[in-house]
Structure 1
Amino acid sequence: MDIDRRSFVKGSAGIVGGLSLGGLAGAQDEGVVRIGSDIPYKPFEYRTQSGDLTGFDVDLAEAIFQGQMDRDYEFVQTGFDTIIPSLNNGNFRIIMSAMTINEQRDQQVDFSEPYFIAYQTVAILKGSDIQSVEDLKGKTVAVQKGTTGEAAAQQLKKRFGGDLNIDSYDQIPGAFNALLNNQAVAVINDNAVNLQYADERDSIVMLEGEGQAAQEFENAPPYLTLTVERYGIAFREDDDEFRQRVNEALNAVIGSGQYAEIYKEYFTGEPPQAILSRARPAPGTTTADGTAGNATDTTTNGG
């Protein structure tokens, strides 16, 4: 999928392939928030057949920056395995790319409060001999470079005493192409993305079984979950004031009911209560349940 440079239109996401440091400084002075993102990663960020950038992260970015903060924004296509160094080099202001908050990343960036709960899961071909996670021993799995899916595969490899082959791809479509071409028996990746591929292709299904989600939540999904993770927006460590303002805007989006509306456009069921319980209206507004906002709301780092 080729990414070209498009002019920014307020209220919809523009996208660029790269940005110089000098251009970044000038753009930020003009109020444009540049967002690093690994595209495509459907349903979080991807382009439609007509070329429009869309997805859960994209719609949430519009609600936060254009809706709550009255700021223009623009997505910058960036490989996931280099996205944190690119942020810290000043190529963009934030990362919004279905990024899991974890200890390793939190040593390099600061995170917003969590905005999504995800699981690492296993996608396989229908009719596969893989019936449990133990059946992966001695086989080849496909993952995306630099992701927590790759980390989950590495943990399985340790569990199997090294008897697991891991093929890492620059982007997730490469991993699924490997599965479809029988170069791998499974893809280990975020549940929402694996479910998207399973929904679009009859030949792909989720490996069933209980897992980490069943230990943490009453209503765990019916498929195997290797981990429970939380996504956050990533910021440079010297950008704390902006991070706090984005947290306020994010919680106002949750409080207004708009988060739930966006969530239901891309996912089945209700948004996690752990996210909805953080709802805080913007000053002078009310939440969907009628709770009034004030100017003294504070935020904390979710990372």
Structure 2
Amino acid sequence: MSKIKKIGAFLFLPLLFMIVLSGCKGESVANKNIAKRIKNEPTIVWGVKYDTRLFGMMDIKTRKVEGFDIDIAKAITKEILGKKGKAEFIEVTSKTRIPLLKNGNIDTIIATMTITDERKEQVDFSDIYFDAGQSLLVKKGSPIKNVKSLTANDTVLAVKGSTSSINIRKNAPDAKILELENYAEAFTALQSGQGQAMTTDNAILLGMASENNKYELAGGTFTNEPYGIAINKGQEDFLKEVNNALSKMHDNGTYDKIFEKWFPKDAEGRAKKGAQF
């Protein structure tokens, strides 16, 4: 072997070792028992939305994310870890949340995530923490009164990676669908006339309507899509702790207090815990 080849081989071996080591490290982080880890390191890393009003929204002034999901995550963290526990938040989108969970970047997802059979193949879900259903947001005075009134002339705006488009195709097969990256982009597209309706869960749409009185929900919900907290496969101990915490929060009134904070009854008589708004 020439001197150049020997040098090349010498440099290659450490590089190969680092790549293999890095790969093993990533795998160990993703597979590490969370329930055991948080006893020694009392921090739970939550994947949350930063663009979803009422559930997870970044406050520009305080630079803190706020919402129903955030408060529920903090309360669960306190139930599991006590006062010493810390809830850390990392931004996720509908597209990135499962990959970030599978890679070990976050411990769990609480981000308006609908429980579906397809997703259950990749992750485990907690008990239902919010009963949601899909609806339509339209401009006031729109001829669209419900999902059945959508026609081939209508474009419905949805977010990539969500179940919304699938449900529209089932309930209004003639309507056109335009998918965007996030809810903010979808609502901007609705305002600019790129579509006649925006669709996602009713609670999210209510948040948008509460900020702009030119828009309203059309009809009731046309699906039953409860939200769950997603946890990686193989983390049964952690899943049990999350479910136990949720149960305690219902029993001691913590859940109801948080719910009333973000979804108070209004003049239209909206009921508690995700009833049909």
Q: Structure 2 counterpart of 1:155, which letter? A: K
> Are residues 1:181 and 2:192 paired?
yes
CA distance in 2: counterparts of 1:119 and 1:273, whole angstroms: 8
Q: Structure 1 counterpart of 2:272, which letter? A: P
| Residues 135-175 of structure 1, C-alpha deviations (whole Å, 9 max, x = no match) | 32211100111112222223235xx3xx2211111111111
Q: Please show how residues 72-91 of structure 1 align to structure 2 within 5 Å.
A: 72-91=86-105
Instruction: Go from structure 1 to structure 2 and tell me whether the alpha carbon gap of 1:57 and 1:91 turns closer, same or farther (over 3 Å shift).
Output: same
Quote the residue 1:96 is aligned against.
Answer: 110
CA distance in 2: counterparts of 1:105 and 1:92, whole angstroms: 17
CA distance in 1: counterparts of 2:146 and 2:257, whole angstroms: 35
Structure number with bigger Rg: 2
Q: Structure 2 counterpart of 1:58, which letter? A: I
Select between 24-33 and 143-152 the one with higher mean Cα deviation: 24-33
1:140 aligns with one of 148, 155, 165: 155
CA distance in 2: counterparts of 1:273 and 1:181, whole angstroms: 30
CA distance in 1: counterparts of 2:184 and 2:169, whole angstroms: 20
Contact 1:120/1:149 (<8 A) preserved: yes
CA distance in 1: counterparts of 2:107 and 2:237, whole angstroms: 13
Q: Structure 2 counterpart of 1:113, which letter? A: D
Q: Structure 1 counterpart of 2:123, which letter? A: V
Q: CA deviation at 1:228?
A: 1.2
1:64 aligns with one of 76, 81, 94: 76
SS across alignment from 1:118: coil
Quote the residue 1:54 is aligned against.
Answer: 66
CA distance in 2: counterparts of 1:243 and 1:199, whole angstroms: 34
CA distance in 2: counterparts of 1:181 and 1:166, whole angstroms: 16
Structure of higher RCO (CA pairs closer than 8 Å, 6+ residues apart):
2
SS across alignment from 1:228: coil
Quote the residue 1:13 is aligned against.
Answer: none
CA distance in 1: counterparts of 2:274 and 2:141, whole angstroms: 35
Contact 1:119/1:227 (<8 A) preserved: yes
Q: Please show how residues 105-116 of structure 1 align to structure 2 within 5 Å.
A: 105-116=119-130
Quote the residue 1:213 is aligned against.
Answer: none
1:267 aligns with one of 247, 263, 266: 263
Quote the residue 2:45 is aligned against.
Answer: 34
Quote the residue 1:231 is aligned against.
Answer: 227
Q: Structure 2 counterpart of 1:72, which letter? A: K
CA distance in 2: counterparts of 1:150 and 1:37, whole angstroms: 21
CA distance in 1: counterparts of 2:46 and 2:240, whole angstroms: 17
How does the TM-score come out when normalised to structure 1?
0.72
| Residues 186-235 of structure 1, C-alpha deviations (whole Å, 9 max, x = no match) | 01111111111112111101112xxxxxxxxxxxxxxx211012111111
Question: Any gaps of 5 or more consecutive residues in structure 1?
Answer: 1-19, 209-223, 275-303
Aligned alpha-carbon RMSD (Å): 2.3
Question: Any gaps of 5 or more consecutive residues in structure 2?
Answer: 1-24, 266-270
Select between 127-136 and 181-190 the one with higher mean Cα deviation: 127-136
SS across alignment from 1:117: coil
CA distance in 1: counterparts of 2:108 and 2:97, whole angstroms: 10
Q: Structure 1 counterpart of 2:218, which letter? A: L
SS across alignment from 2:195: coil
| Greater helix fraction, Structure 1 or Structure 2 | 2
CA distance in 2: counterparts of 1:92 and 1:173, whole angstroms: 24
Contact 1:68/1:252 (<8 A) preserved: no
CA distance in 2: counterparts of 1:109 and 1:207, whole angstroms: 33
CA distance in 2: counterparts of 1:103 and 1:39, whole angstroms: 26
Q: How many aligned residue pairs are there? A: 236
How does the TM-score come out when normalised to structure 2?
0.79
> Are residues 1:202 and 2:217 paired?
no
Quote the residue 1:254 is aligned against.
Answer: 250
Contact 1:141/1:166 (<8 A) preserved: yes
Percent identical among aligned pairs is 32
Q: CA deviation at 1:55?
A: 0.3
Q: CA deviation at 1:23?
A: 8.2
CA distance in 2: counterparts of 1:34 and 1:205, whole angstroms: 35
